[in-house]
């Protein structure tokens, strides 16, 4: 055993990880039953800690300190110590807390999935499906905001936002200047550009990709298609601004949308530029490769298909077409 590695046990399964690894990362390395994350985003520094859905119980802090941690901790930020024992889904306390957080996230969410472009690839939808309750206890009015066009390519629908701050970090870390941020506080807090500023830079489209819900949507794609009716294909082109590696969403030989490639945790692998995203929507522009693998659990798959299908989006489409 490498003496630098730290041993952590999560829900009874152990793994050895390098120092600095967080509980969430270790759980993802182990595999299937890792905590959900709505705000944490591996490519973005300082993200995480806000949504509180990844809370876990640390039953033993370390080998040297066998005491449990007094409160549930955010697994996305808490670093592993040697001999740490973590309870995720095996702890009723954790599951109850997660239920609570999902309920909090939904009380002011409009639940307008039938008219939301994000439906089918929405983290909140998946989270609610897995951890939510069937009915809400919330009877009060929901928070509402007007839709705002921030630039000609992106629309902000604040009503759906869960304030994960991902788009703020994205603008901070991969673009030259950030012109939007969080205004106001409490449940009146909103993402905004303050004086109706447009977000215009070569990489602005990425804030749509990192948004876990339908708060930031691609205006060139709005209401064009439900995601599950189009086939995702990996494709690339030579681009002088970005890597040029994207996913093309194709229906009837038309490119209806271009997005960045995401890993199985729903995180963008390489950010792409607006040229690739908005200005190259012809099949001739691209070298098209294999069908993109979408391994993530999704509401649609869970509802429609009992068995695990390797590339559900493609097959879903095939099935609908044949029907």
Residue 107 beta carbon to other proteins: minimum distance, rounded to whole angstroms: 5
Helix axes 92-107, 123-131, angle to 10 degrees: 130
108 burial (CB, 10 Å; 0-12 / 13-18 / 19+) is middle
Residue 97 or 208 with smaller CB distance to other proteins: 97
Residues that bind other proteins (CB under 8 A): 48-53, 55, 71-72, 74, 77, 96-97, 100-101, 103-105, 107-108, 137-138, 140, 162-163, 165, 181-182, 184-189
φ, ψ (nearest 5 deg) of residue 205: -60, -20
Gap between the Cα atoms of 153 and 179, Å rounded: 15
Least distance (Å) from other proteins to the CB of residue 211? Answer: 16
The CB-of-74 to other proteins minimum distance in angstroms stands at: 7
Which residue, 182 or 309, has its beta carbon nearer to other proteins?
Answer: 182
Our CB check for other proteins shows the closer of 97 and 292 to be 97
Closer residue to other proteins, CB minimum distance, 92 or 289:
92
CA 21 to chain centre: 20
Any alpha helices (H) in 72-184, and if so which ranges?
Answer: 92-107, 123-131, 166-174
| Nearer Cβ to other proteins (40/221) | 40
CB 68, min distance to other proteins, A: 13
Cα distances (Å, whole numbers) of residue 128 to 139, 224, 300: 18, 25, 13
Q: Shortest approach of other proteins to residue 8 CB, angstroms?
A: 17
């Amino acid at each position: 055993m490498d003496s630098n590695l730290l041993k952590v046990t999560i829900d009874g399964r152990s793994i050895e990880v390098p120092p600095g690894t967080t509980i969430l990362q270790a759980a993802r390395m182990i595999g299937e039953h890792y905590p959900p994350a709505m705000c944490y985003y591996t490519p973005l520094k300082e993200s995480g800690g806000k949504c509180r859905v990844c809370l876990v119980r640390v039953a033993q802090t370390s080998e040297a300190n066998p005491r449990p941690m007094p409160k549930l901790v955010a697994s996305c930020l808490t670093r592993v110590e040697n001999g740490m024992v973590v309870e995720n889904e095996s702890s009723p306390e954790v599951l109850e807390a997660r239920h609570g957080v999902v309920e909090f996230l939904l009380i002011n969410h409009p639940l307008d999935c039938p008219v939301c472009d994000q439906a089918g690839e929405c983290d909140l939808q998946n989270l609610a499906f897995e951890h939510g309750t069937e009915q809400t206890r919330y009877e009060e009015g929901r928070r509402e905001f007007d839709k705002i066009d921030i630039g000609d390519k992106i629309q902000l629908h604040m009503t759906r936002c869960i304030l994960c701050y991902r788009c703020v970090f994205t603008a901070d870390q991969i673009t030259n200047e950030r012109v939007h941020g969080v205004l106001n506080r409490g449940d009146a807090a909103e993402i905004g550009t303050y004086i109706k500023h447009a977000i215009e830079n070569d990489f602005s489209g990425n804030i749509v990709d990192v948004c876990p819900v339908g708060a930031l949507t691609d205006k060139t794609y709005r209401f064009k298609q439900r995601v599950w009716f189009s086939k995702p294909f990996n494709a690339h082109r030579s681009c002088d601004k970005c890597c040029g590696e994207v996913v093309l969403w194709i229906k009837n030989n038309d490119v209806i949308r271009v997005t960045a490639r995401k890993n199985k945790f729903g995180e963008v692998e390489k950010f792409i530029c607006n040229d690739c995203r908005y200005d190259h929507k012809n099949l001739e522009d691209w070298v098209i490769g294999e069908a993109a693998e979408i391994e993530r659990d999704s509401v649609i798959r869970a509802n429609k298909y009992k068995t695990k299908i390797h590339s559900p989006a493609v097959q879903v489409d095939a099935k609908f077409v044949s029907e």
